[in-house]
Every structure is written in structure tokens, then in C-alpha cells.
Structure 1
Amino acid sequence: MKKNYFAAAVLMVVSVFSALNSDACTNYLITRGASTDGSNMISYAADSHVLYGELYFRPAADWAEGTMVDVYEWDTGKYLGKIHQVAHTYSVIGNMNENQVAIGETTYGGRHELGSQEGAIIDYGSLIYLALERSKSAREAIKVMTDLVETYGYYSSGESFSISDANEVWILEMIGKGNGEKGAVWVARMIPDGYVSGHANQARITNFPLEGKNSISSDKMDKIFNPEVTNVYAKDVISFAKEKGYYPKEGKNKDFSFSDSYAPVDFGGARFCEIRVWSFFNSVKEGMDKYFDYCKGNIEHDSKGYATNRMPLWVKPDKKINVLDVMDFMRNHLEGTELDMSKDMGAGPYGNPYRWRPLTWKVDGVAYCNERATATQQTGFSFVAQSRNWLPNAVGGINWFGVDDAASSVYFPMYCGSNRVPESFAVGNGKIMDFTNKSAFWIFNQVSNFAYTRYNLIHPVIAKKQKALEKKYYSFTKIIDLAAEGMFKENPDAAVEFLTDFSCNQGNNLVREWRGFYGDLFAEFMDGNVKAKDGNKQNPKLDQPGYSKEFYKTIVKTTGDKLKVKGEMSH
């Protein structure tokens, strides 16, 4: 059985993740005190033009002493080496384990010379899944992750991690030491209860408390499980920066900024990355407009070269947030701002808030950019991980999972205690170049890509159905929670099977419904028309909305008299 599990795991790493480029992901973090029901939540969008969206599953297992694990780079499938296995690994569904621990990531890169490390074995993707397999809490995940890179070396460039459990939410930022020195430097901070945070491909931890009652360095990691500790950092995080010249040797330690030293924010870091965090903060907190100029790429610096007009690492929302709100935060296109992607010429006649890549382009030698909003066409999968400390772990953790563009996807509830995943979302059901109408990824892409052709007409229909389904699932989980919690007291195995059946049925039924929905949309909107059934009549009601007045004016402006009607028309 272990050989079969190993083979399956290796195949999954090589085939599923070999093409993943996660240089453009988005994470939002919500603490218990900031949520309506007292749950911790993190969201994550895995964005890549060649990532096939699936729901990964690793069952729990016991391992013989001396067992070794083959490590493959998450992005490329490259074999990196072997590490020691632990005696027991926990079940993992997607990016959440059976203990309600969830981990997301965004790559920020940072100093280029630190982006590779000869002989290193642990890349950021392997770090996530190894930690999920080995951790009962967010704090343990941080210890596992930092121990792994210290022992085996860190293969990747700079990375931000969201790490949550049923009680706490943390952000961990890490960057390797480059060639010639093993491991990484890093800082981890617990988000204060009642606050929210986010990261989106730009390092965000600046100053942090130095050693004291609430803060420890890595040489005292045995104290990380003390609940008073809310900040942890590599013991050489400042001295290494001084050695490399990233921070003045005479600089005071208390003034040190992790991000400004290891990953200074530039135009792209603000305009393409920080603006996604801003869109979330702006949705939950008044007064965030004062940071909008910074997010447009107008960065102010002090004498050290540190950015002085950055956003805070976390904010206290004006009102509490529920899981449906978080789903909507993942669907933002900068609506209501001067950068609203549906308003300029690039949106075309139908207000499409998407821009086909490349992200930057030139006209007459001058560089220009498209916006990079939270919701994007190249998302492989996304999730909202919800952890609740008043329920048994198997019931308390829900991985609300969706594939493709979050703006047109539907998040369904996958309980973390489940022992299998829906077939329509499972690994091996289709590939990025092998279409199948039995796969969630392909069915949702059919709907979203059809919507891109006439967005302002088709997307509202999608959004209406999306909202109805997610509200239904949300109401279902309240009932399932109660039933499963009661079952756990009498028969835990039956409770797990109950949760698994529910989760798999919702996922598979969703894909069947969305497949039929695509047919309905196609019939309604094909050929540039908008049609609706007209009672029992054979022919439907027909509307031909054409383009907006503004777009017709643009056509005339750019074509002159070429299309002008002259004389009388008989038709």
C-alpha cells in the first residue's frame, strides 16, 4: 500500500505541478475576531496559464522508520533529492489537512542573487505539502517549514505563506540565502485577533518586534508553542542583510524592515501586487483611499531607500466578515476605482474586465501596462479555507473550493475530514490539453470563456446562479455541521463517511448542473442575440442589443465616413 501511495504521490507531483507558475497568486487572511461566526479563514488563488485545476488528496499514513521521501520541485517536476519521512502523516485535501491547518502562498521573488541555492532540496511547494502532512497547528507548521529549509536548504526564491488553524492566522515570509550558504532567512507574525491581512506577490512584513515576551528568534524555537509568542524570526535575518549590504551595518536593528531589505517594492510590486491587497482592505475598511496613489506605483522613499507610503500589514475591518464575503473579495476587478478594468477602451464594447497577456507592452518604444486585478482568467483553482474551533476537526474545517476564474466559479464545501474527493474535481480527470466534459475545470472554463465574449450581458446571469448556489451550500453546511457533530460522539467513522458523501455529492452535482447551465447560456446568447422563451410559442423572444452608444461613437470616430449610409435604404 505504501508503495502505491508513493507512486501516486510522485506521479501527481510530476504531472500536476510541473507546469505551475504561481508568480501571480492572491491570499487574504481573516481572523476569528474579524469573522461573523468566529472562524479563521484564508483564501488563495493559484494563478497560472498552464495550471490544470484539480483537488489534490493525500490520505493519512504510517511510515516505517528510515523511510525516505522523494522531493520534486512543485513548478517543474524536477527531482531535487530525498528527505527523511516522519512516522505518521496527516490526511490533506487541497491545501488543508485533517487538523484544520491550511496554507496558501504567493511568490514575491525578492533579491535575484538569493533566488537559487546549490544542493537545496526543499522548494516552496513541497514545503507547503510536507508541512500540511506533518502539522497539528499553524505554529507547528511554521516550525516544520523553517526546520526543513534549515536542514535541507531552500530551493526557491522569496515567498509569502498564509498559515491558519482553528485558533490563529499567521503570515510567514521567507527568502533563501543564495549559493554558498544553506537555508533561508524569514519572519513570521501572527495576525492580531479581530484584524485581517493579505499578500499578493509582494513581501509585506516590514518592521517587527525584536526578542522579548512576544517575540523570539529561531534559536529559541522550542518556545513557539507559548501562546504569548506572536512573532518569530530567523536569528540571522538582520545580520545576514547587513552582511550582504541590504541594510547599513550601522543601521539600528529596531528600524530594520524585512520587505524593504530583501524585496524592495517597485512599480510592479505596487501596481500589480499590492493593489490586490488594497482592493480587499478597501472593501472592509474606510480610509484606504490614502494608499491608492502608492498602489498605482507612486512610491516614496526615505534616506535608506525604504518605501514610506506603504499600507499596513493588517487592518481592523469596519464590520465582521462571513465566508460568502471572502468569496466575493476574490472576484474583484478594481470596480469603482479609476483603474476599473471594465471602463477603458481595452474592455471593448461589452465591458470585459480582463486583458489578454502580456501584462506589459510597448507603443513607439514607450512601455505601458494592463491592470492585474484579483480575479483573473488564468486561475487554475482557488479556495477559501475556513477553520472553526468549536467543532471536531473533521467537521470544523471546510475547504471551499473552486476551479478557473474566481469571478465565474462556484465554491463548494469540502469538509477537511473527508476520505476522498469528488470525481469531477479529482486528479487525473482530464489535463490542460485534454478536454473532457466530465471535468470541473473544463466545464467552468466553457462558461467563463463564453462570458468573456459579451461580458456585461452574460456575466450577470452567471453571477446570479453563482450566488444562489453558494448561499444554498452555506445553508446546507449549518445543518451538516449539527448532524456530523452529533454523529462524532457516537460513531466517528460514520461521521467521516457522512461528511465525505455530502462533500463529494455537492461537488459532482455542481459540475452536472454547470454543464447544463453552459447549454442554457449558449442557447440564450448565441449569434450575438439575446433570446428568452415565450410561453409555449415555437419561437423565443428576440433582442439584438448591438453595442453601446459610446462604442458606436468610437467606431465612427475611428472609421470616418467609411461606414456612413448614403441615400435612401429600402431595407
Structure 2
Amino acid sequence: MKKRQLLLSAVALLAYGAVSACTNFIVTRGASTDGSVMVSYAADSHALYGALYHTAAGRYAPGTMMPVYEWDTGRYLRDIPQAAQTWSTVGNMNEHSLIIGETTYGGRAELADSTGGIDYGSLIYITLQRATTAREAIALIAELANTYGYASSGESFSIADPNEAWIMELIGKGYKDDGKGGNARRGIVWVARRIPDGYVSGHANQARITTFPLDDPENCLYAPDVISFAREMGYYEGPDRKFSFADAYCPADFATVRGCDARVWAFFRTVADGMDAYEDYAMGYNLKNRLPLWVKPRQKVSPKTVFDCMRDHYEGTPMDMTRDLGAGGHNCPYRWRPMDFEVDGVTYLNERATATQQTGFWFVGQARADRPADTGILWFGVDDAATSCLTPIFCSAQEVPECFSEKNGSMLSYSPTSAFWLFNRTTNFAYMRYDMISADIRKVTDKWENDHLALMESLPARIGMMSDEARRSYLTEVSVSTAQELFDRWQRLNSYLLIKYMDGNVKSEHGDVLSYLDGDGSSAHFVDNGNGRDIPDKIQFPGYNEKWKRAVAADNGEVLRVVK
């Protein structure tokens, strides 16, 4: 009965699953192999077009105004005064190697403010244009939300610079008429904690900060009314020192832990020891066994490890999405929405892993204190992280590659030169025979990412004594040309996969996908019958996996059984 009740509570996950769908992992300087601070982010939405945003630096005269549009919907919110000076940004990183990612946790519904003038997305991109460090960003986010009113629900931010990494969690105060047609509660309550150097952290659509130190401004910052407001609203009655932000403003339940915190647990168990002790929490069965806010990895974490952790489907755990019957006959780790289903009055869930089909874009930002701030790297990709690839975009790049441009296609208009559409076309084909096709894609991804990670290590020697202007021009050109090279390579991969796996068959080949892409891509790569007519030979018919065959036999064996 207990597990049945837990499964029924998964229905709550659907209420915010459409918007609460992003994942952040954070690695501090002392925890990384190259001394970089890293933040990963997957912007997951069924309506988001995967593109790379860019704003140029600027200087503005007093009185200049800038419009604010809600990031998720494009809805105009208001105008706010423009800053006197703004910084160049590309994606979720600016020229000072400041990185901001987010995940929406929703929280208490009554704290939403429909009159708010700035949403969570605008907070990110406006802050990137105005701040240079993580601490500046935290202060500016609070100032903007308190000044103009907060238009979104509860939010967690990853905020990092070359030296520090923070988690900031915030939520609005709801609406209370001030008697003048305004909101007497305008603004947010919030808390931010610095992740200790040498540790890793993460968040995924569930508030993660519980108790926090009240007298350590070097490592913990918070709104002056974060506790008193909770008392006013009846969310908390105990002493200040025991106050938990997450428990007050976003109480955990089965749905938010299984569908959200479980993704952080999957990251932690990959890089740190002892995480199996929290398996019952990750599965939503023991909410008292709370996952820690940060953990110390067993060894320093490489950028490639972070890349690959964003590709997780709970492999090797009881929630492994490749193993149950829902994975079909080819171990596909995806479950199409809705996120639950009912059988004989009992509701069951579909797992929500880190890698998901509806990703618009994703990245791993790297900020390094041992290099010029404008050489920070935003490793950027579009579509499902498990079957797509990251390419290096320097944080000071002054141009967006055409294949990643916001103006190149949309969710409602296909473009043959858009990386988002190319990667989606390849990935959706891979879902057909996932066990085999995804393995070919992964070979290409691993080679590309490993090769370019190695190239980035030689960057200091390449930029040498360049002037700031020459360096920025060079980094822009490298960012654009490398992204286009990836696009061209994926075009060839797309053709290769169609030839090899068309109609569910598998053509035999000389070599593998890498030899095809690195060769001339001719028909000679595939095995033919030797008659000089390009007719394939030794075509393979792999069939389905054992679990699928047994399920079909159990379901319809009386009809399908061969009679001797």
C-alpha cells in the first residue's frame, strides 16, 4: 500500500513537468582535473528552439530603456533602465567567464506574482550583461527582482566565475494589494551558498538548500526576511538556526524527489563514493534520508566526465531506463509524455532522467583562473545530450555560428542549415534502433569532444602575446569555424546512419563510422556483392532483444506460434 500511494503521488509531477525540466551540475576549481570551475545546464522544454544567444557589449546614455520579455513565452513584461555599460555575452556566459544556469522548482503556488516585471530568464541574461563575478550576480539578481517584481515561480540558479561557484535559490512573495493597485509583497526571498572548493554539487527542479549558516557572509548570503516571511506565511515556527529554505518554500514529496533530485543523485554516484546509501531517497521511498547539497568526488572530475554525466539515463541503477519493457525491442531510454500512466486504477510513472528528448540546448561552461577571463569556454550543443555533441564557443566570441543562430529556423519552421534541426533529425532516427545507432553516434561524439578538449589545452601557446583585440577576433573565428565543422560532420553522419540502418536492416561495412566519416564516404565503405553494381551483400537482421521477444510471446503467442 505504501508504494502504491507513492506511485499515485507521482501525478503531482505532471503539474509542473512541462516547465520544470532542466538539470545543473557544478564542479569547483579544486574538484576539477584542469582547475576550472564548471557548470552544466540542459534547457529542457517541448517548446524551446535550441539556439545560441549573443549580445554585444555597449555603453548607454542616461535615460536609455530596455524592454523585458518573458523568456519562456516571449510575452512583453515592461521596460527597465539600461545600465551605463554592458558586457558581451554568448549563451549563458559573459566575457568575464561568469556563468549562470538554472532549474525551476516551482515551490508554493501562492507565492507566484502575476504582476511581476521580470522573469527568471531575463534575470539570467540581464545579469550576465551587467555583472563580472558570481557575488555581483547574486546581488544584482536580488536587486532586479526586488525592484521590478518577480514574474516566475521558485528557481535555483548555478552562478560561477573563475574562482567560485554558488547555488542561489529564490521564490516570490505572492500578491498582496497595497491599496494603490500595487503589490505590497513585491520581490523575493532567497538564499545563496558557496560550494566549498574541492566539492561538486547540482540541482534539478527541486529546491536543494535546507539549513544554512546565518553568520558566514563569506560563504552564505540571504534575504534579510527569508525566515521572518516564512513565519508570517505560516511555513515555519521553529528557531532561526533550524530554518530550512527548501522545507519552508518547496517541501519535497515523492514526485519532486523521484523526478528531480534523482538526477543529482545519479551525478553524485558517478563521481563520488557512498552514494548508494541514498538510493532509497532518490527513488522517493525515504524522504528523511536527504541527499547532501554537495559531495567530495573520489577523484578530480574531468570536463569529459561532466559532458557524459549529462547523458545519463540511470544506467546501472534500479531506475535504468534501458532495461524495462518500456525501452522496447532496442533498449530506447525514452518515454514519451505524459509522465504517468494508469493500469487497473493504479498510477505508474515514466522516469525523468538527465538526458531527455526535449532538450532545446545544453552546455558545460568552463571558467579558469589561470587564463585570461575572455578565454573561458562554453561547450555548447543542441537537442538530446545523449545523442548530440558539444563544441567549444569562447565566452568572448563576437559572432554566433550560422548553424546556431536564433534567426535560422524555429520550432515551427525547418531549416536545412540549422544545427537544431540536423541533430533532431539524426536523433529521432536513432530512437528507431537505439541500441545500435546510439553506439555509432557515441563513437563520433567521443572522438570529437576528446580531440577538441586536447586542442583547448594548447590554447595558451596559440594566443601567445596577442593583443586583446586580436585575441578576441581569433577566438571568435575559432568558435564559428569549429561549430560549422561539427555541423558538416553531422551531415555526413546523418547520411551514413540512413544508409546503414534503413528499414531496420544493418548493412555490413569495411571499418566503422569513424572510418566512413574520416574517409571519402563512398559506397566502397559498405560491403557489396562484388558485381560492380553497388548492391549490398551480407545484410544483417539483428531482430529484437530477449525481453521484447518474451513479452510478445506472452502477449500474443497463441496467434504467432509456429506450428510444426
TM over 0.5: yes
Match of 1:471 among 439, 450, 459: 450
1:481 shift after superposition: 3.4
1:428 aligns with 2:407: yes
Aligned to 2:194: 190
Pairs within 5 Å for 1:432-447:
432-447=411-426
> Amino acid of the residue matched to residue 499 of structure 2?
A
1:566 Cα deviation after fit: 2.5
Among 468, 472, 477, the alignment partner of 1:496 is 472
Which residue identity does 2:135 align to in structure 1? R
Q: Does 1:508 align with 2:484?
A: yes
In structure 2, runs of 5+ residues without a counterpart are 1-16, 177-184, 509-525
Q: State the distance in 1 between where 2:54 and 2:455 align.
A: 23
The one-letter amino acid paired with 1:295 is A
Q: Which is worse superposed, 377-386 or 530-539?
A: 530-539
1:370 corresponds to which residue?
A: 350
CA contact (8 A) 1:333 1:375 kept: yes
In structure 2, the CA distance between the partners of 1:21 and 1:81, relative to structure 1 (3 Å rule), is farther
Shift of 1:117: 4.4
TM-score, normalisation: structure 2: 0.90
Aligned to 1:416: 395
Give distance in 2, aligned partners of 1:261 and 1:482. 51
Q: Which moved more, 1:164-173 or 1:558-567?
A: 558-567
1:359 to 339, 344, 352: 339
Letter paired with 2:478: F
Any conservation in 1 of the 2:507–2:527 contact (CA below 8 Å)? no
Secondary structure in 2 matching 1:407: helix
Contact 1:487 1:494 (8 Å CA) reproduced: no
Give TM-score, length-normalised by structure 1.
0.89
Contact 1:22 1:106 in 2 (8 A): no
Per the TM alignment, residue 22 of structure 1 is displaced from its structure 2 partner at its CA by 4.1
2:157 is the alignment partner of 1:168? no
- 1:115 Cα offset (Å): 1.7
Residue 353 of structure 1 aligns to a residue in which SS?
coil
Q: 1:233 aligns with which of 222, 237, 245?
A: 222
Contact 1:273 1:372 in 2 (8 A): yes
Matches within 5 A, 1:327-342: 327-342=307-322
* Residue correspondences, number: 519
**1:252-291 correspondence runs (5 A):** 252-291=239-278
| Aligned partner letter, 1:210 | L
Give the direction of change, closer, same or farther, for the CA distance of 1:536–1:136 in structure 2 (3 Å limit): farther
1:130-155 per-residue CA deviation (whole Å, 9 max, x = no partner) reads 10000110111111111111111111
1:87 aligns with 2:84: yes
Match of 1:528 in 2: 504
Aligned to 1:152: 148
Q: Is the 8 A contact 1:196 1:316 kept in 2?
A: yes
Contact 2:325 2:548 in 1 (8 A): no
**More displaced, 44-53 or 547-556?**
547-556
1:166 is aligned with what amino acid? P
The two structures, once aligned, show a CA RMSD in angstroms of 1.3
- C-alpha distance in structure 2 between counterparts of 1:150 and 1:383, whole Å: 29
Q: Which amino acid counterpart does residue 264 of structure 1 have in structure 2? A: P
- Mapped partners of 1:291, 1:487: distance in 2: 50
Q: Which one-letter code corresponds to 1:161 in the other structure?
A: F
In the alignment, the residues of structure 2 paired with residue 456 and residue 62 of structure 1 have an alpha-carbon distance, to the nearest angstrom, of: 53
With over 3 angstroms needed to count, the CA separation of the structure-2 counterparts of 1:176 and 1:442, relative to structure 1, is same
Per the alignment, residue 233 of structure 2 pairs with 244
> Percent identical across equivalent pairs?
52
Matched residue, 2:49: 52
Give distance in 2, aligned partners of 1:108 and 1:549.
Answer: 39
Counterpart position of 2:547 = 550
Q: For residue 472 of structure 1, report the CA deviation from its aligned partner.
A: 1.2
The whole-number CA distance in structure 2 between the counterparts of 1:56 and 1:487 is 29
One-letter amino acid of the counterpart of residue 200, structure 2 = V
Matched letter for residue 507 of structure 1? A
Shift of 1:536: 8.4
Equivalent residue for 2:8? none
Q: Does 1:207 align with 2:194?
A: no
Q: CA deviation at 1:482?
A: 2.4
Q: Deviations over 1:261-293 (max 9, x none)?
A: 000001111000000000000001111111111
> Residue 542 of structure 1: SS of its match in structure 2?
coil
The equivalent residue for 1:17 is none
421 and 182 in structure 1: CA distance in 2 versus 1, 3 angstrom threshold? same
Deviates more, 1:472-481 or 1:34-43: 472-481
Q: SS of 2:560's equivalent? A: coil
After TM superposition, give the deviation of residue 493 of structure 1 in Å: 1.2
The AA in structure 2 aligned to 1:453 is: M
Q: 1:21·1:75 contact (CA, 8 Å) conserved in 2?
A: no
Shift of 1:451: 0.7
Which residue of the partner structure matches residue 434 of structure 2?
Answer: 455
Q: Is the 8 A contact 2:401 2:481 kept in 1?
A: yes
2:129 is aligned with 1:133 = yes
Contact 1:332 1:407 in 2 (8 A): yes
Bigger shift: residues 80-89 or 26-35: 80-89
Conserved? CA contact 2:235–2:248, under 8 Å: yes
8 Å CA contact 1:72, 1:126 repeated in 2: yes
Match of 2:138 among 139, 142, 145: 142
Checking the alignment, whether the CA contact within 8 Å between 2:325 and 2:547 is kept in structure 1 is no
Aligned residues of 1:266 and 1:299 also touching (Cα < 8 A): no
Whole-angstrom distance in 1 between the partners of 2:381 and 2:18: 18
Tell me, yes or no, if the aligned pair for 2:105 and 2:155 is still in contact at 8 Å. Answer: yes
Contact residue 529 and residue 537 of structure 2 kept, 8 A: no
Matches of 2:155 and 2:562, distance apart in 1: 59
Aligned to 2:30: 33
Point out the more displaced range, 543-552 or 398-407. 543-552
Gaps of 5+ in 1: 1-19, 216-228, 301-307
The answer on 1:480 being equivalent to 2:467 is no
Structure 2 distance, partners of 1:68, 1:185, is: 27
Q: Measure, in 2, the Cα distance between the counterparts of 1:30 and 1:70.
A: 34
Structure-2 change in CA distance of 1:329 and 1:106 (3 Å): same
Q: Is this contact kept in 2: 1:333–1:373, CA < 8 A?
A: yes
Aligned equivalents of 1:21 and 1:80: distance in 2? Answer: 22
Alignment correspondent of 1:115: 112
1:549 Cα deviation from its structure 2 partner:
3.2
* In 1: Cα distance, 2:43 partner to 2:546 partner: 38
DSSP 3-state at the match of 1:381:
strand
What does residue 560 of structure 1 align with? Answer: 557
| From 356, 362, 381, the counterpart of 2:361 | 381
For 2:398, give the aligned amino acid.
N
Q: Deviations over 1:180-223 (max 9, x none)?
A: 21100000010000000000000000000012xx23xxxxxxxx
Q: Following superposition, which runs of at least 4 residues in structure 1 exceed 4 angstroms of deviation?
A: none
